[in-house]
Structure 1
Amino acid sequence: MVVQPVNVRLMLRTYGKQLTSAKRLARFKRALALSGAQDMVSISREARRKELVERISQEVIENLLVNGQDNPVVTRVLSELEQELGEQVLFDYPLDGGEIQILRQSTEGPQELAADEKMRIMRRLWEITLHNVDDTML
């Protein structure tokens, strides 16, 4: 295999840029740590719990929307939502990577919901998930 001098130069130039960027980032982090050392704020226990509940709720919703229902919390959230709505809803991501679709199960087959109804359902889904996660946490 023959190595062209141009390729070696380009590779060394790229590594040099990465090294320079890493040094700048390290200096920036050091300066940030020194300036923020006096501003340490302790987060209350309730705020940490709320943050954790929100993070877990996000995971549950992603699990529901992307992977389907495969755990007890997701099943409980989905059944509570459907009981509240009085109908079965399906969450679907299009293959092209577009926005999530919420479909209503009807006699003619699945039908996509309007944007305002979709937002209402997503908001309610978030509230139900937060409540369920908060109830199941110790």
Structure 2
Amino acid sequence: MANNPAEIRNMLRTYGKQLTNAKRLARFRRALKMSESVDVVTISRQARRRELIEKISREIIENLIVSGNENPVVSDILEQLELDFGERYLFEYPLDGSDVQVLKESAEGVIDLPPEEKSVIMNRLWEITLEKVDRTML
């Protein structure tokens, strides 16, 4: 058994990543089951583009930002969020499987945001992500 604190931290980080991946797969499976019964609908090119932008943005927020991915798009989104609010935020899924937690780095350490502030941050994160994906798509 590992006695070194660094080894224990590394093991917990690995378990955390595995848990995040399992949650992501569960959400993906639920989305697949829900989409199986959808009828075929003809929509305009602009509507399809908007739908694709929203789908990619949702994927970025649910998976890449929460997993701490070092993707340049994710870095740009988080930098813009930090510029807008003047604070650095962390996003993670709790072990109980509930919604994403928004944490703020402060002088006292990392604190969980109240629901009202979390809502404001998540809305702005969504807007920034939509803008970024829209600009980078062909």
TM-score tier by shorter-chain length is: 0.5 to 0.7
3-state secondary structure, aligned to 1:105? strand
Q: Which residue is 1:67 aligned to?
A: 67
Q: Which residue of 1 aligns with 2:16?
A: none
In structure 2, C-alpha distance between the alignment counterparts of 1:107 and 1:101, rounded to whole Å = 19
CA distance, structure 2, for counterparts of residue 69 and residue 112 of structure 1: 21
What is the count of residue pairs matched by the alignment?
101
Question: How much has 1:94 moved relative to structure 2?
Answer: 1.4
Quick one: percent identity of the two aligned structures? 56
Match of 2:57 in 1: 57
Q: Could you tell me how far 1:41 is from its partner in structure 2?
A: 5.2
Q: Which runs of 5+ in 2 are unaligned?
A: 1-36
CA 1:41/1:66 → structure 2, altered by over 3 Å: closer, same or farther? closer
| CA displacement 1:62-97 (0-9 Å, x = unmatched) | 123431132111111111101111011111211222
Aligned-residue RMSD, C-alpha: 1.9
Residue matched to 2:113? 113
Question: Which residue of the partner structure matches residue 5 of structure 1?
Answer: none
Q: Normalising by structure 1, report the TM-score.
A: 0.67
CA distance in 2, matches of 1:103, 1:126: 16
CA distance in 2, matches of 1:53, 1:99: 22
Structure (1 or 2) with the larger CA radius of gyration = 1
CA contact (8 A) 1:101 1:112 kept: yes
Aligned to 1:103: 103
Query: Which AA in structure 2 matches 1:132?
Result: K
Give the SS at the match of 1:111. strand
The Cα offsets for residues 42-73 of structure 1, whole Å up to 9 and x where unpaired, read as 31110010011011111111123431132111
Query: Take 1:64 and 1:85, find their aligned partners in 2: how far apart are those partners?
Result: 21
**8 Å CA contact 2:53, 2:130 repeated in 1:** yes
* 1:63/1:74 contact within 8 Å kept: no
CA distance in 1, matches of 2:99, 2:122: 13
For 1:43 and 1:92, the matched residues in 2 are separated by 35
Q: For the residues of structure 2 that align with 1:101 and 1:57, how far apart are their CA atoms? A: 18
Partners of 2:65 and 2:74 within 8 A in 1: no
